[in-house]
Structure 1
Amino acid sequence: MPVRPRRSFALAAAVATAAALGATALATTTASAAEVPLSGYELTWGIKQSYRTYVSTYAQGTFTATDGAAQAANNGVFTFTDGTGTYDTTSHALHLTFKGTLTAKSTLHGFVREMSDFQYDSAAGTLTADLVSDGGTKQQDVTLAKVAAPTSQDLKDLGTTLTAAAGTFLGSDSYANAAGDPLSALKPASTTSPSPTPSTTPTQSPTPSATPTQSATPSATSSSSPSASPSDTVSEPATKGDIADGRLTWGVKESFRSYVVGSVAKGKITTSGGATQAAGNGVFTFTGATGSYDTDADTLTAAFDGAVNFKGHEDNGTYGLDLTFTDLKATLDGGTGKLTADVTSLGEKSEDVVLADLKAASTDVTAKDDVITLDDVTTTLTAAGAKAFGGFYQSGAELDPLDLSVALTADATLPTDGASSTTGTGSSGTSGGTGGTDNSGTTGSTSGGVTGSTTGDVSGALASTGSEVPVAALGTAAAVTAAAGAGVVFAMRRRRTQA
């Protein structure tokens, strides 16, 4: 393993670490490097919350912590104990090795992942562990995460970034360079040595944290555009009133559409109730808009007819993925708003799920020839939407943009619809479509060359899917979550385990 150049601790971290050593240890500091032994430390790290959720829920698995390791309640983070190591009083570098073994095991997909001998090196800024996959050969001292330099008075809640090796071990290349759970390496207060008065202390400024920052979820709060004063008479019917007709065009997420009809899910996409899908596994158009508008107040509320259904992972007539969106509704106020839908997954329906925040290019809602048209409206997944999708598609992720146009009068002409109905049934590796009337998308296989089997041997890079779900551990019945990009985890049907 390459050795990285050592970097000094921040002032505050050095003081805190020195305090734990005791006055006697510090008194032995000389001009040359002096390593002081340490003991009794604890490491707390959760790997990544979405990974824990995946293992315990969708993989029907468990975490087992043994040999000094423990897990917090409610599928919480892990603690590794009896940390021993050394502290370099010259460079203020800390190296600790912890006891405890953590095993992740899935009864549904048949994988076993074992981690032990966790080591934290502050100079290198790394967390390493010994790894064993499915009973194979142990890989020693594999760097699981890069650890940010401390910026506070202790080694608490340090940012971590998962490595490519971690992605390979956990089952998905999408983990590489993804933010992991924060890490803490502390000595419990009950066993901490008395704090000494250090005789010499480095004076450099604290090192800035390298913790990756996540983009904030765009706010769905309505703008402060002034509302128009109500009129005593209906003298301008084209300024405020009910919508006569309209359509909404939206693709949900391109990578998800590709996955459903690709070589892993081998599924199909079906539109109904007034909705259609564009050729080439394109976007969806929902019609028959109803609602209201106010161009003076720049507000619009429009609900659309039509349904789109995604099916995949068929096994003897039963689908592991069966997801339907209906009753789509867009609301805008001063250029921002929400997109809601009724979501039915494997027969269970949730109404009015706020899927995305909307942001139009302009704050104005204006009409031309009695038609309001908004193109390329940005759709950003909300916290509620992320929860509806199982938490694997993070809040703030960008979905496909949408276009909408609504007629304000019965004789107004809507713009030409760019989405047209397709034909055919979605099957692995097909292109175009042949036969049938179910408007099913039929384009291509999943990007990244994913291959799979029912035993969980899924391999290949899932390029640009935005997934964080372990692909190698999934198998075809659950890999939809990883390759879909949209992370529609709740659409996974749990297969019954054999007695």
Structure 2
Amino acid sequence: MAAISRSRRPLALAAAVAVALGAGALAVTSASAAEAPLKDYELTWGIKQSYRSYVTGMAAGSFTPADGATQAADNGAFTFAGGTGTYDSDTHAVRLGFAGSLRIASKLHGFDLTLSDVRFDSGAAEITADVTSGGTTQDDVPLADVTVTRTMTGMETKLTKEAATVLGSASYEGAAGDPLTVVQKTPPTQSPSPTGSPSSSTSPSPTASTSPKPTGSASSTASPSASQTTSPSASASETGAATQGDIADGTLGWGVKQSFRTYVVDGPAKGRITASGGATQASGNGDFTFTEATGTYDTDADTLKAAFKGAVNFKGHEAKGSYGLDLTLSGLTVELDGGTGELTADVESLGKTSDDVVLAHLTAGSSGLKAEDDVISLDDVTAELTKAGAQAFGGFYTEGTVLAPVDLSVALSDDAQLPDGDGGSGDGSGTGTGGSGDSGTTSGTTGGGTTGSTTGGVTGALASTGSDVPTGALGAAAAVTVAAGAGVVLAVRRRRQA
């Protein structure tokens, strides 16, 4: 079977080949001795969280999945099922096509488009889809470049120029999209057999040495999905770590809200963002990483409380040396109990300090806490703005607004190795061109403007939109914001944990 590439290959062809060869067989054909059929895969991708918020919020539009595609609750990510394709054991490329379609429409802002025939190619490291708009269909439009990983879960994505055209704003080009996960829905069937039975090499299921390993993965001996790994993740007790105790170290990745970062740096605020005191910001006006976690954990009770060092300051709306926006968040703390909890921070305004403000309610994907190699990691934890958090943002964001997701990793021993990374995912990095972040130092500044911290006297409301909102959506909101000014004038305060 020839390789699936950007040239259009109907999903039916991949399905037909998979049926002909058998679900788990490593069949050898005259066309390609290296390819094995794959089936029953699912692709989950949210495109971009801030785009979803724009469509259902400002644009008063909707997402309508069909033909087997679904959307997670609360305007969540999209899942395309029925994935079939091939794995090339020579190049370790996984190529899959998925069933389902997604209609994205808004009468208010005048767009109506449908994505279908979604495809993932680990060799090309991209997501493509057919895009139908105005009665015309473009086949295999590249929507995102993918940083392929060994497990093919939580993979970073970067939106393409073509995606920016599809989504209606040039500012999306190069912006971080939501994380991508590609997994097999059900593991290959394995017949139970007693000790001493024939070797697994006689089974039609792929063996460990020949199972799919995506191109670009960290290890050539691992399979492409969690369902195909040789063993489940170990719990804390299985790794030898204590089930409860003190946290030795850790990082928190959080972007606050992508549209807010964009508004500060490249929007009407014409300001800058500064990370300090142990916090860093990813390049391209990206997410923030807070470090040096301290706290406690209990994997039996599924509880965790971790405080992180670092501060981030948002400054903008300068007028004659004063700032209408000067907001600092520091002393971030995450507390979880059974998969739910709170994100708190110290907030400062006009020399007035408010400690331990509950900014967001947190919901993890699992209620349990598990440690692997003495590290507990939670990715894409949902964060929703609280009433107190809404007040901290001057009342412009309403209670319940979805913020950037939270990524959390804590070490349970001094020699545990924390995963590499430069901050949260999902909400993605900003798209501003006015400045650059610094993900490799202990402090960094994104955006232009003069240095220093000066409180101002302008009052009003903070904007909830950014330059990543499609063209035409910003006009009225930006005008109102500039006329009113910024509603929170906060002084810089740095809080370091003992």
For Structure 1 versus Structure 2, the TM-score category normalised by the shorter chain is: 0.3 to 0.5
Please give the TM-score of this superposition, normalised by the length of structure 1.
0.43
Q: Higher Cα Rg: structure 1 or 2?
A: 1
Please give the TM-score of this superposition, normalised by the length of structure 2.
0.43
